[in-house]
Amino acid sequence: MCPAPLMPDQDRGYIIPIGGGEDKVKEMQIHRKFLEIAGGPKADIVVIPTASRLESTGPDYNEIFHDLGAGEVEFLPIERREDCENPAYVEMLKRATGIFITGGNQLRLSTILGGTPVAQTIRRRNAAGVPVAGTSAGASIMSEHMIAGGKSNAAPSGGGVSLSPGLGLTNAVVIDQHFTQRNRLGRLLSATSHNPFLIGLGIDEDSAAFIGPDDVLEVVGSGMVTVVDAGSLSYSSMWQASKGEALSLLGLRVDVMSEGCTYDLAKRQAYPPDANHND
């Protein structure tokens, strides 16, 4: 699934995967930056808490964005696929200047939203310039290829990760979250080994990758974003590895970036803070 086509003379909106566990009490740096991009006091934020089974998730994020000064905040109480057919929910998304997808279970999220009018509207709104942020499960589902499962704290191996279709807001990356905290490097390496075209983004808790319309991401938050680039891979044993068998992956490039660092997804190049991307 490719990203929705752009309208003439229109830039795509920011795509903002967050690693989960973001600060919701003190500085709330990630939420503040998302809200600023979405319009600040004029923003109309729509929260999608479907990945979570907690009834408090939607109201909690409503309160966060209200307290930060958003003009309007609403959440969509989507629990079943038929809820995604509700024309009122589609209209809310069409009015939104920012869309926020919460954490929980990414397979619950994809099986309820996938292919519905709500999912189609999210894609079209992002193509029309509306920023879409997602935390934890909401981050994973943003890409065309979504990490649906796999062992944490494990070496890269055959069958070490399971993939399923995501929303397809970007087809350039595959995203993992709670990255350092749950030691998920092995499963991200397994994911990128399936197709070296993909760039792996491992996003720590309280950290986000703000991916702009120019395909340059900026790291925001207290943790790190780890970039795994298999584009220059010289050898991979993935094609012949049996389930659980250790992989050989030669020629990988890994960049570890903290706040202020940027990464050009088109050039596959990392930059320190305040660097000139035209160098």
Task: Provide the annotated active-site residues.
Answer: 136, 178, 205
Cβ atoms within 10 Å of 149's Cβ, excluding its own: 11
CA pseudo-torsion sign 27, 259, 142, 121:
positive
Nearest CA to 210 out of 64, 43, 30, 68 is that of: 30
Nearest CA to 170 out of 132, 222, 121, 204 is that of: 132
Q: Torsions phi, psi of 82, nearest 5?
A: -65, -25
Nearest CA to 13 out of 156, 121, 158 is that of: 121
Sheet holding 225-229, edge to edge: 173-177, 199-203, 225-229, 253-257
Query: Strands (DSSP E) along 94-211, which ranges?
Result: 98-101, 132-135, 145-149, 162-165, 173-177, 199-203, 207-211
Task: Provide the greatest CA pair distance for the chain.
Answer: 54
CA pseudo-torsion sign 158, 164, 169, 175:
negative
Please say whether the beta carbons of 132 and 119 come within 8 A: no
Nearest CA to 269 out of 233, 217, 222 is that of: 217
